Structure 1
Amino acid sequence: MNRLLFLIDEVSTWVGKAFSWCILLLTFVVCYEVVSRYVFGAPTSWAYDTSYILYGSLFMMCGAYLLSRNGHVRGDFLYRTWKPRTQAGIDLLLYVTCFVPAALTLIYSGYGFAKMSWIMNEHSSFTPDGPPIYPFKTLIPVAGALLLLQGIAEMARCMICLRTGAWPQRLHDVEELEQIMLQQHAIQDDADRFAHEHAETSGGLR
């Protein structure tokens, strides 16, 4: 089960990290527009469309990645005081009653928006020759599907916690543990090397 959960985490992580490059492109576009508009007095016709497409893509496609990292905002001042089983029970209830219907709605409605956009060959109306936005709208149901997939993994974690009384590991927990182990091995290697050198030096002095 953990292997399957880690696989879903890896999919969300790969997608999130791939789309995180949008923030670098967005920074470049905004800086270019500011300099072009206020220094050279020549505003671009494409910066606005590019900005909201990049930001929207980043926002939608990194949602599952953030969920896999357990990074979404919650009332931690209450949540952290509960026992793991209580946390898991509340989480599972909210996933079933709120999260899953929202993700299914996003998939269903997003598919309709994307389909109509492709049929219309829809372009942005903010500029005279705006870019096509049907690829952007296609990301809506894709983001919903990724969220639903990661949500299923989170519900499985809730059920495991309800059964065992402890939260199962997440992918980033495993990654962090591996880093700690590597650091410990490096420290031990340095200590062994120092001890060996010290022993050789002491033997030479005798």
Structure 2
Amino acid sequence: MPEFIKHYVRAIDWINRKVGIFAMYLIFPMGAILLYSTVMRVIFGYPVNWIMEMSQFMLSAYYLLGGAYSMQMNAHVRMDLFYGMMRPKTRAFTDSITILFVIFYLIVLFWGGLSSTQYSITYNQKNYTAWAPLLWPVKTVMTLGIFMMLLQTIAQFFKDVAEARGKPIA
């Protein structure tokens, strides 16, 4: 593989590792606000209307920012009917073909995310609830997560091609 591709793969792996580790820790503030909601509702009898939406927004950030890290760690779910019986080079070749479909899907998803984020910024879009939060912050984070997943998928494609050729990128 050319040296610039190796640098690209290493840089994207490093960035997604840092973002993924950050995303892992979002579970703690999400748990804290859900605990706060429970205490306020059960003990004080005061329901807090923003908690459910905020926890949904945080959960979206949690899994979208962590998706690229999961791919990097090879932690995504696979249907292992024949895949486990293949040799490593055959697996890498198969992955390099099938990942092209994932790249196409992520490009379309990213395009839609950009459009939706632009719309929410332009029109100051709010959610139709009592809390009525602005939607552009969560849409921006979601689009960023999809973009990071796309970059990681491209890096994974390069890794698979190198592995199929018998010269893995270290």
TM-score, reference length from structure 2: 0.90
Residues 99-118 of structure 1: per-residue CA shift (max 9 Å, x gap): 01111011100011101101
What percentage of aligned pairs have identical amino acids? 24
**In 2, distance between residues paired with 1:101 and 1:4?**
20
Partner of 1:203: none
**In 1, distance between residues paired with 2:87 and 2:137?**
44
Shift of 1:156: 0.7
Amino acid aligned to 1:74: R
Note if contact 1:85-1:162 (Cα within 8 Å) is conserved in structure 2: yes
**In 1, distance between residues paired with 2:21 and 2:99?**
24
Question: Of 47, 62, 81, which residue of structure 1 is paired with 2:66?
Answer: 62
Partner SS state of residue 53, structure 1:
helix
Note if contact 1:114-1:138 (Cα within 8 Å) is conserved in structure 2: yes
TM-score, reference length from structure 1: 0.75
Shift of 1:46: 1.1
Pairing of 1:106-121 with structure 2 (within 5 A): 106-121=109-124
Partner of 2:21: 17
Q: How many residue pairs get matched?
A: 166
Amino acid aligned to 1:153: A
Q: Which has the higher helix share?
A: 1
Which entry has the higher C-alpha Rg, 1 or 2?
1
**In 2, distance between residues paired with 1:4 and 1:119?**
33
Pairing of 1:1-206 with structure 2 (within 5 A): 1=3, 2-76=6-80, 78-96=82-100, 98-127=101-130, 129-164=131-166, 168-169=169-170
Structure 1 stretches of 5 or more lacking a match? 170-206
Note if contact 1:157-1:167 (Cα within 8 Å) is conserved in structure 2: yes
Partner SS state of residue 40, structure 1:
coil
Shift of 1:126: 2.1
**In 2, distance between residues paired with 1:4 and 1:48?**
39
**In 2, distance between residues paired with 1:79 and 1:38?**
50
Note if contact 2:61-2:145 (Cα within 8 Å) is conserved in structure 1: no
Shift of 1:36: 1.3
Note if contact 1:106-1:140 (Cα within 8 Å) is conserved in structure 2: no
Note if contact 1:123-1:130 (Cα within 8 Å) is conserved in structure 2: yes
